[in-house]
Amino acid sequence: MLTTDLPVVIIGAGLAGLACAARLHAEQVPVVVLEAAEAVGGRIRTDVVDGFTIDRGFQVLNTAYPALQTGVDVDRLALRRLPRGVRIRRQGALHDIRHPLASPGAALGDLTTSVVGLRSKVALARYVASSVAARPSTIKGRADVEARAAWAQLPDDVVDDVLTAFFAGVVLEAEITTSRVFTDLMMRMFVHGNSAVPAAGMQALPEELARQLPAGTVRLGTPVASVVEGGVALADGPVLEARGVVVAADPWTAHELLPELGAPPAARAVTTYYFAAAPWADIDPLLTLDADGSGVVNSVVLTASAPEYSTDGRALVATSVLHATGRPVLDAAAAQAAARELHQAPGGDWELVATRDVPHALPAMTAPHPLRKPVEVIPDRLWVAGDHRDTSSIQGALVSGRRTANLVATALRSATAGRTR
């Protein structure tokens, strides 16, 4: 039963939980956020290791994400933008694709000196334009098949050496069985916006959301054991009464807390190795991909765009690899050797500063994937939020939190109206 003097309890202070809390707070609904970890952020956390800013797995936000345009004071993040485009190694040579991702009109000319042949360049430019020029609602109306199937009409070199090489690092799987609606929407974002990191590291984003909440709203180090009638049971015993509960835990914990959601999604995994290196001449800031199959899914000299990520003047290189059979496909030494080649870095010591293994990085979005899953679990009482209800991304997590908050606020308003009638 809903009683008005109790708060809505949100389980989890990741982006979805924080966005949900911020929206409810703006609606003057009292909220408490219970977070198991000792800091906010969930899958977006940052550590400082030997003076280097180390995100828990390489990740970026996209400045074109619609969910960042409201409710986030982006100026406070001091964003450091990576250049648009990618650098791809193919048959031992490096090719830059800048303009096709920045401006489809310029695609053809730029691609003439680039990674694939002329017929392929035209096909790639057409594919990019088909997502860039389309409205999101049009893309959402497309038949949702696996992206690889949607690319079946494209030349093999476009699929293998450009699209797969790029999207494998976005959806964290090499077969690209992910929803083509999602990859098309992401392509649109990559053209319209920049990939960026806050100067202080990715955790600055959830911290900015938490800042909007009154002190004491987020209770850190407070794991929830279960959802019970009228509230939640904390792992250390007591029950916290609640006017309503929003489960904004990671997808896999959410499915444990709420068995009615059914089977949990498969997890996409990634490992990022962070290397410190003496800066070399001609460091390029582009995200570098490998179509030659070294096992590196992408690698970037973070300090070329975000110099604050290093405090001693050395370059910080983030080199990511996917997992196979539960393990990263390359160990640190092999990843370092591949990354040196990809960045054309000369000899000299590279120091492994940190390894971030993230076996549960993204919930899989294997096609067909509904862009919006239901979030009401028990009417007027229990809801769920998180990237697994929308899309596996910063955009998806923020949208999900706000979407759920809107439903909660509506339910509470009608409950209040019912009582006063």
The number of CA neighbours under 13 Å toward the Cβ of 405 is 25
Least Å distance, CB 361 to ligand FAD, is 4
87-126: which residues touch ligand FAD (CB under 6 A)?
A: none
- Residue 405 token pair: 């908050």
Least Å distance, CB 373 to ligand FAD, is 12
CB 345 within 8 A of CB 311: no
Using CB under 6 A, pick the residue from 286, 387, 399, 404 that binds ligand FAD: 387
Least Å distance, CB 171 to ligand FAD, is 10
Cβ burial, residue 160 (10 Å; 0-12/13-18/19+): middle
Q: Which CB sits closer to ligand FAD, 164 or 393?
A: 393
- From the list 400, 398, 394, the residue with the least C-alpha distance to 370 is 400
Using CB under 6 A, pick the residue from 46, 131, 178, 393 that binds ligand FAD: 393
Residue linked to tokens 């807390």: 257
Q: Which CB sits closer to ligand FAD, 270 or 411?
A: 270
- Three-state DSSP class for residue 14: coil
213-252: which residues touch ligand FAD (CB under 6 A)?
A: 223-224, 248-250
Q: Which CB sits closer to ligand FAD, 118 or 266?
A: 266
44-63: which residues touch ligand FAD (CB under 6 A)?
A: 44, 57, 59-60
Gap between the Cα atoms of 179 and 168, Å rounded: 13
β-partners of residue 327 are: 324
Q: Which CB sits closer to ligand FAD, 16 or 345?
A: 16
Q: Is 397 in the site for ligand FAD (CB under 6 A)?
A: yes
Gap between the Cα atoms of 192 and 62, Å rounded: 9
Q: Is 13 in the site for ligand FAD (CB under 6 A)?
A: yes
Q: Is 358 in the site for ligand FAD (CB under 6 A)?
A: yes
The number of CA neighbours under 13 Å toward the Cβ of 313 is 2
* Binding range to ligand FAD, per CB under 6 A, among 69-77, 107-115, 149-157, 391-399: 391-399
Q: Which CB sits closer to ligand FAD, 60 or 181?
A: 60
Gap between the Cα atoms of 16 and 206, Å rounded: 9
Using CB under 6 A, pick the residue from 53, 164, 183, 253 that binds ligand FAD: 253
The number of CA neighbours under 13 Å toward the Cβ of 286 is 23
Q: Which CB sits closer to ligand FAD, 154 or 234?
A: 234
Q: How far is CA 154 from each of CA 119, 176, 392, rounded to the nearest angstrom?
A: 10, 15, 26
Binding positions for ligand FAD, rule: CB under 6 A: 11-17, 34-37, 42-44, 57, 59-60, 223-224, 248-250, 253, 270, 358, 361-362, 386-387, 392-397
